[in-house]
Amino acid sequence: MELTLGDLWITDWLHLLARWFHLVVGAAWIGASFYFNWLNNNIRPMDDPTGRLAGGLWAVHGGAFYEVRKYKGAPETLPKTLHWFKWEAYLTWISGLTLLMFVYWLQADLMMARPDSGLSPGATTAIGVGALVVGWIVYDLLCKSPLVNHPGLGFVVAGLLLGGSAYGLAQVMSPRAAYIHFGAMMGTMMALNVFFVIIPGQRAMVDAMIKGEPPPLDKGRAGALRSLHNNYFTLPTLFIMVSNHFAFTYGHPMAWAVLIGLSAIGAAVRHWFNVHGKGERNTWILPTAAVAMIALAFVSHGPKAAPAAGAAASAPTFAQVEAILAKHCVQCHAAEPTFAGITAPPKGLLLTDPKQVAGNAALIKQQAVDSQIMPLANTTGMTPEERALLGAWIDAGAHLDD
């Protein structure tokens, strides 16, 4: 593909701004969501001659006192200003899609493709876009199906479908792309839940009130269900978004399983918050999640690459390593990269500099030996033997030749 992020320096700045914006609106969205969850859990019955209140609470914050009331249904009259919370969700989704497009879809040959899948970068991107669309359609249909009356079964079906998509995505695209698309799929469900179900339901309630009609209860119920789902999606989605910066997650040979593990732990922790908020003392969820996390940490170290067949008794020399780096790494990791679209050494890592090679040996081993994240999309066709040689040199202490 011709258009790449690195072609113009200005695109680096736009990328930074887009990422910053995405974080800011995302924080506003999730922050509001957490706050309302917390409100619902802490509202207590209060003195109420009208009989319309579900309860209320007092809070002190930033040097001021606040009183909040929650109504059972609608208030008698609508206030002049009624705040809605929707733009945070829409903007997070739009900025997220923008990032996805610039970082992954427009650099599909580097960021999307999985060399051994036999799919072209374009086809891989089409699958990525399709996953977001199909994911939403299937999810939305399930929410409108009789399954909603069987929460236990619904949970199993949702778990299988989500787990299946994590596995499926990892088969067709680079593991890092699979992670971000899985997160984007859940983020899309969350944002479209707000757009297509939650906000229209609230609007129908307000409209009914203005006309003096009873509020449409079915719409309220549908909105509550989607809100509950969004609640469970928050922590896994955030977890996945940050794990994209930690190669030991998506770099694992069974990256999809790590992804499912991270998502399940995120949802479990969210569940703990929910039951805890209801005043139930649950003693097993958090310890279980902690044990699962520790187990995942151990497993994600992954099997180490086997030593090269007939590995020499003596460690490889740096000259051998340097030849491999020259063949597979310095197109990108040099002061002036020659790889199209890369304008500066990624992460400032100069693999032309022996001192940097030795100093970053552990990181290099993780990226190019234990996992096969580098060279990116294995554009240069690095062989298992070359990886093993690099690993053997690092294991022997990463000594530069005298």
298: left (phi over 0), alpha (psi -120 to 50) or beta: alpha
Indicate the residue among 245 and 281 with the shorter CB distance to ligand HEC: 245
Q: One symbol per residue from 280 to 319: x for binding ligand HEC (CB under 6 A), - otherwise; what is it? A: ----------------------------------------
Instruction: Report, in Å, the least distance between residue 372 CB and ligand HEC.
Output: 9
Cβ neighbours of residue 310 under 8 Å, at least 6 residues apart?
none
The answer to whether the beta carbons of residues 382 and 373 sit under 8 Å apart is: no
Q: How far apart are CA 123 and CA 173, in angstroms?
A: 10
Instruction: Report, in Å, the least distance between residue 393 CB and ligand HEC.
Output: 12
Q: One symbol per residue from 214 to 253: x for binding ligand HEC (CB under 6 A), - otherwise; what is it? A: ---------------------------------x------
**Is residue 233 exposed (0-12), middle (13-18) or buried (19+ Cβ within 10 Å)?**
buried
The answer to whether the beta carbons of residues 96 and 27 sit under 8 Å apart is: no
Instruction: Report, in Å, the least distance between residue 303 CB and ligand HEC.
Output: 19
Single residue of 113, 376, 389, 394 touching ligand HEC by CB under 6 A: 376
Which span (5-13, 226-234, 300-308, 327-335) binds ligand HEC, by CB under 6 A? Answer: 327-335
Count of residues near ligand HEC by CB under 6 A = 23
Single residue of 223, 375, 389, 393 touching ligand HEC by CB under 6 A: 375
CB atoms within 10 A of CB 228: 12
CB atoms within 10 A of CB 284: 8
Asked if residue 114 binds ligand HEC (CB under 6 A), the reply is no
C-alpha distances in Å from residue 388, one per residue of 115, 138, 313, 392: 19, 43, 14, 6
Which span (128-136, 228-236, 261-269, 359-367) binds ligand HEC, by CB under 6 A? Answer: 359-367
CA angle 357, 361, 366 (to 5 degrees): 125
Asked if residue 326 binds ligand HEC (CB under 6 A), the reply is no
Q: One symbol per residue from 5 to 44: x for binding ligand HEC (CB under 6 A), - otherwise; what is it? A: ----------------------------------------
398: left (phi over 0), alpha (psi -120 to 50) or beta: left
Instruction: Report, in Å, the least distance between residue 81 CB and ligand HEC.
Output: 44
Span 68-97, contacts to ligand HEC by CB under 6 A: none
Q: Which residue has the tokens 């707000």?
A: 194
Q: How far apart are CA 146 and CA 395, in angstroms?
A: 57
Tokens linked to 171: 């088969």
Instruction: Report, in Å, the least distance between residue 389 CB and ligand HEC.
Output: 11
Asked if residue 360 binds ligand HEC (CB under 6 A), the reply is yes
Asked if residue 102 binds ligand HEC (CB under 6 A), the reply is no
Q: How far apart are CA 176 and CA 371, in angstroms?
A: 12
Which span (112-120, 177-185, 282-290, 332-340) binds ligand HEC, by CB under 6 A? Answer: 332-340
Single residue of 174, 367, 371, 372 touching ligand HEC by CB under 6 A: 367
Furthest-apart CA atoms within the chain: distance in Å: 88
Tokens linked to 109: 């040959």
Q: One symbol per residue from 145 to 164: x for binding ligand HEC (CB under 6 A), - otherwise; what is it? A: --------------------
Rg over CA atoms, the chain: 26
Indicate the residue among 100 and 329 with the shorter CB distance to ligand HEC: 329
Phi/psi for 275 (5° steps) reads -70, -35
Residues forming contacts to ligand HEC in the complex (CB under 6 A) are: 110, 247, 328-329, 331-333, 339, 342, 346-347, 349, 360, 363-364, 367-368, 374-376, 379-380, 382
